[in-house]
Amino acid sequence: MKQFISAHDVSDIDALVDLALAFKQDPWKRETLGQRKRIGCLFLNPSMRTRLSTQVAARQLGMDCIIFNVGAEGWALEFEDEAIMSGNTVEHIRDAAPVMAMYFDILAIRTFPGLKNRDDDYSELYISQFIRFAGIPVVSLESATLHPLQSLTDIITIRECIREDASLANRKPKIVLTWAPHVKPLPQCVANSTAQWVNAWGGAEFVITHPEDYELDEQFTRGATIMHDQDEALKDADFVYVKNWSTYQDYGKIYCNDPGWMLTADKLKTTRQARVMHCLPVRRNVELSDEILDSPSSIVTRQASNRVWAAQAVLSEILDELARK
């Protein structure tokens, strides 16, 4: 693996999931693979799970992991080509990225969309400029439009649950991605990424449900069934993935914020005792009710714990590629 930005960087998702599950069985099985290698994790935005799980994963591969909170502690970076830097930005990515590439073997980056201009966000300018000017493998720790480590984790978690459930031995599980209310306009990253990965994986019947006006970009959802009736969508679900996102067409807005879209135990009654997923952090009793989060239906902690194995599988694949050079 040369980089990890989206599902398109993975030739065999099931094989990568198998590798992650093997690391879960034996975290230290390749503890010398990353010896004398360094990963720089750059955060332009806050993080808890992504930051800590990547550090733990790197450590278990013997790598040195250096965290740099660029957004809070670094020089303000300019990403536009030919910018006249007379404003607030201090250093151009053309100058900063090659320097970082001298310090590290792998660069991992978290960016975030501005949610002001859709074309800007969907051009993935930040992460593409890092890839362009660093010239070393780049791992997305969440970008403007996608969150691949989260989605790999989610498929790992679903595969684990399938393995433990005899009723899922001979049929594809039904996964429902449902929109949920929120107090702030959030990016579409996790929803886009879930759609991209579940479609690419192909191991499930996949339904997306959201209020009208919350359509996602078709490049990610193509292949999924889209429904505006949440109750109908939830019928017979094995997994319900709850996530808010802001509007894509009239970009970055909150239209409907109907609290009736919050998942409750009552709504789960028509499912096949569905496991409830969320990437976290979650706004309790806005996005998801206490009664679900604190019940056996919720697998959100297991999901978050699997972030380590997803990161470890990806880093080990990139380290193997570096070793072949």
286 binds ligand CP (CB under 6 A): no
Nearer to ligand CP, 48 or 183 (CB): 48
What's the distance, CA 171 to chain centroid?
26
- Helix 148-164 and helix 189-201, axial crossing angle in degrees, nearest 10: 50
Choice between 110 and 118, CB closer to ligand CP:
110
Tokens standing for residue 60: 């278990």
Residue pair 201/155 in contact (Cβ under 8 Å)? The answer is yes
Report in angstroms the alpha-carbon separations of 237 from 4, 193, 204, 215.
30, 20, 11, 21
**Burial of residue 62, with CB atoms counted within 10 A of its CB: 0-12 exposed, 13-18 middle, 19 or more buried:** middle
Does residue 280 belong to the site contacting ligand CP (CB under 6 A)? Answer: yes
CA atoms within 13 A on the CB side of 216: 33
Q: Does 279 bind ligand CP (CB under 6 A)?
A: yes
Q: Does 278 bind ligand CP (CB under 6 A)?
A: no
Rule CB under 6 A: say whether 323 interacts with ligand CP. Answer: no
Is position 125 an interface residue for ligand CP (rule: CB under 6 A)? no
- Residue 194 interacting with ligand CP (CB under 6 A): no
Q: Of 44-52, 55-63, 220-228, 263-271, which segment contacts ligand CP by CB under 6 A?
A: 44-52
- Burial (CB < 10 A; 0-12, 13-18, 19+), residue 77, is buried
Residue nearest to ligand CP (CB): 50
Using CB atoms within 10 A of its CB, is residue 72 exposed (0-12), middle (13-18) or buried (19+)? Answer: exposed
Shortest gap between Cβ of 48 and ligand CP (angstroms)?
3
Q: Which stretch binds ligand CP (CB under 6 A): 16-24, 31-39, 48-56, 62-70?
A: 48-56
Applying CB under 6 A, among 6, 39, 43, 47 the residue interacting with ligand CP is 47
Among 6, 50, 196, 209, which residue interacts with ligand CP (rule: CB under 6 A)?
A: 50
Sites of contact with ligand CP (CB under 6 A): 47-50, 142, 150, 279-280
